[in-house]
Structure 1
Amino acid sequence: MLQACVVGVILGLSIVISADWNFLKCFETEKKCPNENVSFWLYTRDTEDNPTNLNMFEPDTIDRAPFIPGRPLIVLIHGYTGHRDYAPNTSIRPAYLADGEYNIVSLDYNPLALEPCYYQAVRNLPTVANCTAQLLDYMIERRMFTLSDIHVVGFSLGGQTSGMIGNYLRAGKLQRITGLDPAKPLFITAPSEFKLDQSDAEFVQVIHTDVFARGILHPSGHTDFYINGGVEQPGCSQQTTMTTGECNHNRAPEYYAESIATEAGFYGYRCAHWYLYMLGMCRVDEQSMIALMGAHTPNTTRGLYFLNANSQAPYAQGKDFSRRLDFVAPS
């Protein structure tokens, strides 16, 4: 009996150790910049397939980088388990470069955001933000860009990271941030300096697509857009390659990517509160206040807006009032 118990304990411990083995790769990085776990990659039309590493350990790589003079700088920040060739980069970067000449910098902090290390990933975000601010300050000091040239676009954890950049940026306040379904776990009660809010840039736009799971529900910007209430995106329940929640969450960068060149446009209808929308109490007619969502949203836009999207690309429904007179909360 004793021998059997010993064998059982050993087997149990081996199972636990095996199950927890992946956690051994979780770590919190040194809070210093430059940081070997945070890299930056410049993409332009000419270098789309051969990006330039902007290495703060070797500033000459930045000085010699093939930036396009006079063109905007778009900074893309991925989320949990991501990298520079993961959402939002895979949809937004080619959409911008197909539309025109842009300087696009994709962050890669993958070593700090590995699965199953979500807690450590969140703890590492201030360092990612600090290193991003260091790069931006360097380029601004060299007069490569001004604050008005820069637009930071962050997805999920990247959305929350974008809000922390201002804690470290010496050059002044960012002009524009877009948060794509900013992450919810560990951020609901976080202090404002550790998450995205409207104090982080002159204009903060937030797009919500998965508020019951991965994304935050609470308004976080000067203007917040809730697609299908931010609850469940059309067509996601029929997805076979990913979970419904993952599909909902990933629609945020897909919608934004389409907004760069869409002729129809994503137009939201203003409502005072998410709960009023859910109760079907937001009037939608020709007198409703509307706003354009996405890459071309005017910096003066304010308030909460609600809109529907198609179940597959092209997602934008434009201003077709006849399709929206029965606009109510999702069932």
Structure 2
Amino acid sequence: MLGLFLILCLAWSVSSDTDEKCPTFTNIGFYNALVGTRLKVRLLLYTDGNFACAKLLESTLPGSFNVTKKSTFIIHGYRPTGSPPVWMDDLVEALLRIEDMNVIVVDWNRGAANVIYSISSGFTKPVAKILKQTIDQMLANGATLDNIYMIGVSLGAHIAGFVGKMYDGKLGRITGLDPAGPLYNGKPPDKRLDHRDAQFVDVIHSDIDGLGFRESLGNIDFYPNGGVDQPGCPQTIFGGYYADRWKNYTTLKDRPVTKAFFDTTDKKPFCMYHYFVDILIWNKNSQKGYITIKLTDMNGHSTESTINHEPTTFQKYHQVSLLARFAQDLDQVKSISLVFSSGTVLGPKSKLRIIWMKLRPINRPEKPQMCRYDLVVTENKETAFQPILC
């Protein structure tokens, strides 16, 4: 029975290498990931003109390949089940909607698909060498390194770094999405992705408590939701997301190594809406605690933010600026309510005597700032009021 099962798996999973009218990403199935495969790299070219049908880049570039355009390589990572990445088509489409460019999907599933992670990791440098051969051809036909952009996921992030090293960091940009941690944590820069591998390197860390790389690797490193569990994503190594909204990143190239933290929601478009909240109090003694803010619009829709990353110390005549994160964006705010909590259960209730407070929208700076003056907030009691324009 086991032999019959393996034969059926083999027949189902092995794809033909014959010419395809529209080449697609290799699907080798779990059986081949179990027994292992030899490395084979296929490059699938997508452009605005052939969005629905890729062209296979062979050893000789096709005459229709416009090398003067920006060329973005998408490099997937470890594929223990042998299946294609579910996010690939969405990313290709998103990139082509943003800009008229060449999108090149680097299909190294024969190599990445293996139940033994270390074997897949061992193919990263050979894949990088193959990509260099393609880029060398592009350069010989008029392309420039400034226009080469690489997006690498998991092991693919380190592949992009190895390619960048071969060009002495002169590639235009590398984006690392959840770079792989196992076998790379603690390694020197020449054995992993590094911020010197391109003119600009940005990294999103979304699984640092799992198989992702924890430390900073780029010129700027983003840690959505602290870099751990991502709302709306499966809690496995197969989940992930990426949205590139930077058409022009030249202003970021000269930034020092930076870490940036932000939050997302669990539903599309995954955006959080941020306000700075400035508060000035006139309490005689300092107060320490947390603030919860609720915004309500004209139709009764509301959104709430609890600023609980750490307790805030409020002191007399000392302005405190807090960052409030909301899951919804309300056009016209009719009322605001505040709750102050010191976090203590016993003892008398504290009061926060506010001289003035201001809400400043960050995502939409064209929106008016909202203010309120002379307000007393009793601990653990919701206090609602109508804001006025500042």
TM-score class normalised by the smaller sequence = 0.5 to 0.7
SS of 2:48's equivalent in the other structure is coil
Query: Per-residue deviation at 1:178?
Result: 0.4
Query: Per-residue deviation at 1:103?
Result: 0.7
Query: Per-residue deviation at 1:177?
Result: 0.4
Q: Judge which range, 39-48 or 82-91, deviates more.
A: 82-91
Structure 1 residues 79, 313: CA separation in 2 closer, same or farther (over 3 Å shift)?
same
Q: Which has the higher helix share?
A: 1
Query: Per-residue deviation at 1:96?
Result: 1.4
Structure-1 separation of matches of 2:308 and 2:146: 37
Q: 2:254 maps to what in 1?
A: 300
Larger CA Rg, structure 1 vs 2: 2
Matched, 1:43 2:46: yes
Q: Residues 1-331 of structure 1 correspond to what in structure 2 (within 5 A)? A: 25-26=35-36, 29=39, 37-56=40-59, 59=60, 62-67=61-66, 70-81=68-79, 86=85, 89-143=88-142, 145-169=143-167, 173-236=170-233, 242=234, 244-246=235-237, 250-251=239-240, 254=241, 256-257=242-243, 259-260=244-245, 297=249, 298-302=252-256, 303-321=258-276, 326=307, 328=309
Q: Which has the higher strand share?
A: 2
Query: Per-residue deviation at 1:65?
Result: 3.6
Structure-1 separation of matches of 2:132 and 2:200: 17
Letter in 1 for 2:93: P
Letter in 2 for 1:81: R
The 8 Å contact of residues 180 and 211 in structure 2, kept in 1 or not, is answered as yes
Structure 2 spans left out of the alignment, 5+ residues: 1-30, 278-303, 311-390
The 8 Å contact of residues 173 and 201 in structure 2, kept in 1 or not, is answered as yes
Structure 1 spans left out of the alignment, 5+ residues: 1-20, 30-36, 237-241, 261-293
The 8 Å contact of residues 37 and 114 in structure 2, kept in 1 or not, is answered as no
Structure 1 residues 206, 327: CA separation in 2 closer, same or farther (over 3 Å shift)?
farther
Please give the TM-score of this superposition, normalised by the length of structure 2: 0.58
The 8 Å contact of residues 206 and 223 in structure 1, kept in 2 or not, is answered as yes
Structure 1 residues 127, 97: CA separation in 2 closer, same or farther (over 3 Å shift)?
same
The 8 Å contact of residues 72 and 102 in structure 2, kept in 1 or not, is answered as yes
Please give the TM-score of this superposition, normalised by the length of structure 1: 0.68
- May I ask how many residue pairs the two structures share in their alignment? 250
SS of 2:92's equivalent in the other structure is helix
Structure-2 separation of matches of 1:166 and 1:112: 21
SS of 1:162's equivalent in the other structure is helix
SS of 1:185's equivalent in the other structure is coil
SS of 2:122's equivalent in the other structure is helix
The 8 Å contact of residues 160 and 182 in structure 1, kept in 2 or not, is answered as yes
Query: Per-residue deviation at 1:24?
Result: 6.8
